Amino acid sequence: MTFFDSDYMEGAHPEVMRQLMATNLEHIVGYGKDHYCDEARDLIRKACNAPDALVHFLVGGTQTNVTVIDGLLRRHEGVLCADTAHINVHESGAVEHSGHKVLTLPAHNGKLEPQEVDNYITDFYRDETFEHCVAPGMVYITQPTEYGTLYSKAELTEMSNVCHKHNIPLYLDGARLGYALASPDCDFTLPDIADLCDVFYIGGTKCGLMFGEAVVAKRKERLPHFFPLVKQHGALFAKGRILGIQFKTLFTDNLYVNICKKPVSLAIKLRNAFTAKGYKVAIDSPTNQQFFVLPNDVIDRLKQSASFELWGPRGEKETTVRFVCSWATEEKDVDELIERL
Amino acid sequence: MTFFDSDYMEGAHPEVMRQLMATNLEHIVGYGKDHYCDEARDLIRKACNAPDALVHFLVGGTQTNVTVIDGLLRRHEGVLCADTAHINVHESGAVEHSGHKVLTLPAHNGKLEPQEVDNYITDFYRDETFEHCVAPGMVYITQPTEYGTLYSKAELTEMSNVCHKHNIPLYLDGARLGYALASPDCDFTLPDIADLCDVFYIGGTKCGLMFGEAVVAKRKERLPHFFPLVKQHGALFAKGRILGIQFKTLFTDNLYVNICKKPVSLAIKLRNAFTAKGYKVAIDSPTNQQFFVLPNDVIDRLKQSASFELWGPRGEKETTVRFVCSWATEEKDVDELIERL
Amino acid sequence: MTFFDSDYMEGAHPEVMRQLMATNLEHIVGYGKDHYCDEARDLIRKACNAPDALVHFLVGGTQTNVTVIDGLLRRHEGVLCADTAHINVHESGAVEHSGHKVLTLPAHNGKLEPQEVDNYITDFYRDETFEHCVAPGMVYITQPTEYGTLYSKAELTEMSNVCHKHNIPLYLDGARLGYALASPDCDFTLPDIADLCDVFYIGGTKCGLMFGEAVVAKRKERLPHFFPLVKQHGALFAKGRILGIQFKTLFTDNLYVNICKKPVSLAIKLRNAFTAKGYKVAIDSPTNQQFFVLPNDVIDRLKQSASFELWGPRGEKETTVRFVCSWATEEKDVDELIERL
Amino acid sequence: MTFFDSDYMEGAHPEVMRQLMATNLEHIVGYGKDHYCDEARDLIRKACNAPDALVHFLVGGTQTNVTVIDGLLRRHEGVLCADTAHINVHESGAVEHSGHKVLTLPAHNGKLEPQEVDNYITDFYRDETFEHCVAPGMVYITQPTEYGTLYSKAELTEMSNVCHKHNIPLYLDGARLGYALASPDCDFTLPDIADLCDVFYIGGTKCGLMFGEAVVAKRKERLPHFFPLVKQHGALFAKGRILGIQFKTLFTDNLYVNICKKPVSLAIKLRNAFTAKGYKVAIDSPTNQQFFVLPNDVIDRLKQSASFELWGPRGEKETTVRFVCSWATEEKDVDELIERL
Instruction: Give me the residues of D, 73-132, that contact A with CB < 8 A.
Output: 91-94, 97-98
* pLDDT (0 to 100) of residue C60: 98
For chain B, residues with pLDDT lower than 70 are none
Cα C227 from chain centre? 22
Instruction: Give me the residues of A, 267-296, that contact C with CB < 8 A.
Output: none
Split at pLDDT 50, 70, 90, the class of D341 is confident
Q: What percent of chain C has pLDDT over 90?
A: 98
Q: What is the mean pLDDT of residues A165-171?
A: 98
Are residues A75 and C232, on separate chains, in Cβ contact within 8 Å? yes
Split at pLDDT 50, 70, 90, the class of A78 is very high
Distant-in-sequence, close-in-space partners of B120: CB < 8 Å, separation ≥ 6? B80, B103, B105, B136
Subunits close to A (at least 3 CB pairs below 8 A): B, C, D
Are residues D231 and A17, on separate chains, in Cβ contact within 8 Å? no
Q: What is the mean pLDDT of residues C230-248?
A: 98
* pLDDT (0 to 100) of residue B296: 97
Q: What is the mean pLDDT of residues D122-148?
A: 96
Split at pLDDT 50, 70, 90, the class of D300 is very high
Report which of C119, C186, C116 is spatially closest to residue C151, judged by C-alpha positions.
Answer: C186
Three-state SS for A81-143 is EECCCHHHHCCCCHHHHCCCCEEEECCECCECCHHHHHHHHHHHHHCCCHHHCCEEEEEEEEC
Rg for chain D, CA atoms, rounded: 20
What is the value of pTM for the model shown? 0.97
Are residues D90 and C132, on separate chains, in Cβ contact within 8 Å? yes
Q: Which residues of C touch D89 (CB under 8 A)?
A: 133
Split at pLDDT 50, 70, 90, the class of D173 is very high
- What does the alpha-carbon distance between residue D317 and residue D295 come to, in Å, rounded to a whole number? 6
Are residues A28 and D9, on separate chains, in Cβ contact within 8 Å? yes
Q: Look over chain C and give the mean of its residue pLDDT values, rounded to a whole number.
A: 97
* pLDDT (0 to 100) of residue C2: 95
Are residues A101 and B93, on separate chains, in Cβ contact within 8 Å? yes
Nearest to B27 among C3, C24, C60 (CB): C3
* pLDDT (0 to 100) of residue A8: 96
- What does the alpha-carbon distance between residue A13 and residue A248 come to, in Å, rounded to a whole number? 13
Three-state SS for chain C is CEECCCCCCCCCCHHHHHHHHHCCCCCCCCCCCCHHHHHHHHHHHHHCCCCCCEEEEECCHHHHHHHHHHHHCCCCEEEEEECCCHHHHCCCCHHHHCCCCEEEECCECCECCHHHHHHHHHHHHHCCCHHHCCEEEEEEEECCCCCCCCCCHHHHHHHHHHHHHCCCCEEEEECCHHHHHCCCCCCCCHHHHHHHCCEEEEECCCCCCCCCEEEEECCHHHCCCHHHHHHHCCCCCCCHHHHHHHHHHHCCCCHHHHHHHHHHHHHHHHHHHHHHCCCEEEECCCCCEEEEEEEHHHHHHHHCCEECEECCCCCCCEEEEEEECCCCCCHHHHHHHHHHC
* pLDDT (0 to 100) of residue C312: 85
Q: What is the pLDDT of residues C26-68, one digit of tens each?
A: 999 999 999 999 999 999 999 999 999 999 999 999 999 999 9
Q: What is the pLDDT of residues D221-263, one digit of tens each?
A: 999 999 999 999 999 999 999 999 999 999 999 999 999 999 9
Q: What is the pLDDT of residues C182-208, one digit of tens each?
A: 999 999 999 999 999 999 999 999 999
Q: Which residues of D touch C101 (CB under 8 A)?
A: 93, 96, 102
Q: What is the pLDDT of residues C112-135, one digit of tens each?
A: 999 999 999 999 999 989 999 999
Longest dimension (CA), chain D: 63
* pLDDT (0 to 100) of residue D313: 87
Distant-in-sequence, close-in-space partners of C180: CB < 8 Å, separation ≥ 6? C143, C144, C150, C174, C186, C287
Q: Are D62 and B218 in contact (CB under 8 A)?
A: no
Report which of C74, C84, C86, C82 is spatially closest to residue C103, judged by C-alpha positions.
Answer: C82
Q: Look over chain D and give the mean of its residue pLDDT values, rounded to a whole number.
A: 97
The distance of A312 to chain B (nearest Cα, Å) reads: 5
Phi, psi of D103 (to 5 degrees): -100, 135
* pLDDT (0 to 100) of residue B115: 98
Nearest to C232 among A70, A76, A98 (CB): A76
Are residues B101 and A99, on separate chains, in Cβ contact within 8 Å? no
* pLDDT (0 to 100) of residue C116: 98
The ipTM estimated for the assembled molecules is 0.96
- What does the alpha-carbon distance between residue D151 and residue B338 come to, in Å, rounded to a whole number? 81
Report which of C209, C218, C174 is spatially closest to residue C64, judged by C-alpha positions.
Answer: C174
* pLDDT (0 to 100) of residue B313: 87
Q: Are B226 and B54 in contact (CB under 8 A)?
A: yes
Are residues A24 and D17, on separate chains, in Cβ contact within 8 Å? yes
* pLDDT (0 to 100) of residue D194: 98
The distance of C119 to chain B (nearest Cα, Å) reads: 31
* Phi-psi domain of B237 (left: phi exceeds 0; alpha: psi -120 through 50; beta: other): beta
Please tell me if residue B229 touches chain D, with a CB cutoff of 8 Å.
Answer: yes
